[in-house]
Amino acid sequence: MAVILRLARAGSKKKPYYHVVATDSRSPRDGKFIEAVGSYDPNHTPAKVEFDAERLAHWQKVGAQESETVSELIKRHKRATPAT
């Protein structure tokens, strides 16, 4: 089973909201997932991105692949939040 970190769409028509989920790569976009590790809301200016850093690090450590979009969101989130 290959685990991938990708977006699962939620929200209503014309008002998207996404959950960043760890899921089996064979499952459908909005189907069953293993764990939710963050969220992305493009309706805010600037877009709101949140992650559970501990769980995201866990999935990256065990070898979960990231979709292109999730990879960009992680980079954007790291730039926006100062390192402590």
pTM to 2 decimal places? 0.86
d(CA 84, CA 80): 13
Fold assignment, 3-80: S16 Ribosomal Protein; Chain: A; (3.30.1320)
Domain boundaries, the chain: 3-80
pLDDT of residue 13: 94
Query: pLDDT by residue (tens digit) across 11-64?
Result: 999 999 999 999 998 988 888 899 999 999 999 988 999 999 999 999 999 999
Residue 84 pLDDT > 90: no
What lies within 8 Å, CB to CB, of 77 at 6+ separation is 49, 50, 51
Cα dihedral angle (76, 77, 80, 82), rounded to 10 degrees? -130
| Surface-to-core class of residue 42, CB atoms within 10 Å of its CB (0-12 exposed, 13-18 middle, 19+ buried) | middle
